């Protein structure tokens, strides 16, 4: 096994780990945990309410959600940004509308492509609150946001200590919604999911529009 054995240590070193060091670790982890199919398709399909829309996805792994969604919603273009080289090299979506970009820096430092809908399923829990704030500055590029995450309803200092995962976000949904609201978005749906976090925190999806 090549996976990181101590997630508490990973969290403790997160703030001082460079992007490329983190990327190298995830390339190793991916070989032990290739299945990252943790998403609920219905909110994404609801956001794609007309043919020919474009999607920018962050952390779409091997394109599993895109593969499911593109033919149903008749998506024109779906662009998946991911930091894991292994996932990008081993796509499961071969639809011509699908494309990938391997991140060369943290996503909040990248200029993500605009589109109709931004999708991030099981992504924001892997970043700090201040990093989410930086990422959210780009959200006005899209008309709708679909964000799925296993985080608590209300928190400013939540800890994931002793959980078997790489979750690190210290905020709850109330705080996430407040951050996104500052960029002109309102919540149009709050939906449950059947996929809990390793510590039992229930997963929910938020759909935003502006």
> Given a cut of 80, is residue 4 above it in pLDDT?
no
CA distance 51 to 53: 6
Instruction: Tell me the C-alpha to C-alpha distance, in Å, between residue 139 and each of 105, 158, 169.
Output: 18, 24, 19
pLDDT above 70 as % of the chain:
98
pLDDT of residue 170: 98
> Given a cut of 60, is residue 5 above it in pLDDT?
no
pLDDT, average across residues 101-126: 98
Which of 7-11, 32-36, 108-112, 202-206 is least confident?
32-36
Q: Which CATH number fits domain 7-209: 3.40.50.150, 3.30.360.10, 2.60.40.10, 3.20.20.30?
A: 3.40.50.150
pLDDT, average across residues 108-126: 97
| Residue 85 phi, psi dihedral angles, 5° rounding | -60, -40
pLDDT of residue 91: 96
Mean of per-residue pLDDT scores for the chain: 94
SS3 label, residue 104: coil
pLDDT band at 17 (very low <50, low <70, confident <90, very high): very high
Q: Whole-model pTM above 0.75? A: yes
Half-sphere exposure for 124 (CA within 13 Å, toward CB): 32
> Given a cut of 80, is residue 49 above it in pLDDT?
yes
Q: Which of 160, 158, 151 is nearest to 124 (CA)?
A: 151
Which of 3-12, 30-39, 75-84, 152-161 is least confident?
3-12
Per-residue b or e along 130-145, where b marks 16 or more CB atoms closer than 10 Å to that residue's CB: ebbbebbebbeebbbb
- The ranges assigned to domains in the chain are 7-209
Report whether 56 contacts 119 (CB < 8 A): yes
pLDDT of residue 145: 98
- DSSP-assigned states of every residue in 32-92: H--------HHHHHHH--STT-EEEEES-TTTHHHHHHHHHHT-SEEEEEES-HHHHHS-S
pLDDT in tens, 72-103: 999 999 999 999 999 999 999 999 999 999 99
| Residue 121 phi, psi dihedral angles, 5° rounding | -110, 125
């Amino acid at each position: 096994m090549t996976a990181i054995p101590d997630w508490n240590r990973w969290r403790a070193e997160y703030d001082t780990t460079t992007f490329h060091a983190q990327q190298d670790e995830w390339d190793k982890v991916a070989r032990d945990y290739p299945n990252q199919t943790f998403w609920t398709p219905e909110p994404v399909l609801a956001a794609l309410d007309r043919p020919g829309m474009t999607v920018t996805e962050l952390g779409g792994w091997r394109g599993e959600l895109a593969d499911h969604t593109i033919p149903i919603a008749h998506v024109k273009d779906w662009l998946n940004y991911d930091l894991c080289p292994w996932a990008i090299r081993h796509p499961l979506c071969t639809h011509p509308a699908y494309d990938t970009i391997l991140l060369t820096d943290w996503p909040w430092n990248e200029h993500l492509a605009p589109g109709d809908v931004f999708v991030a399923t099981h992504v924001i829990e892997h970043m700090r609150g201040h990093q989410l704030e930086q990422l959210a500055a780009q959200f006005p590029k899209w008309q709708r946001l679909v964000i799925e995450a296993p985080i608590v309803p209300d928190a400013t200092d939540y800890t994931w200590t002793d959980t078997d995962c790489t979750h690190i976000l210290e905020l709850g949904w109330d705080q996430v919604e407040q951050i996104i609201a500052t960029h002109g978005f309102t919540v149009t749906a709050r939906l449950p999911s059947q996929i809990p976090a390793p510590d039992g925190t229930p997963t929910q999806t938020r759909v935003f529009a502006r």
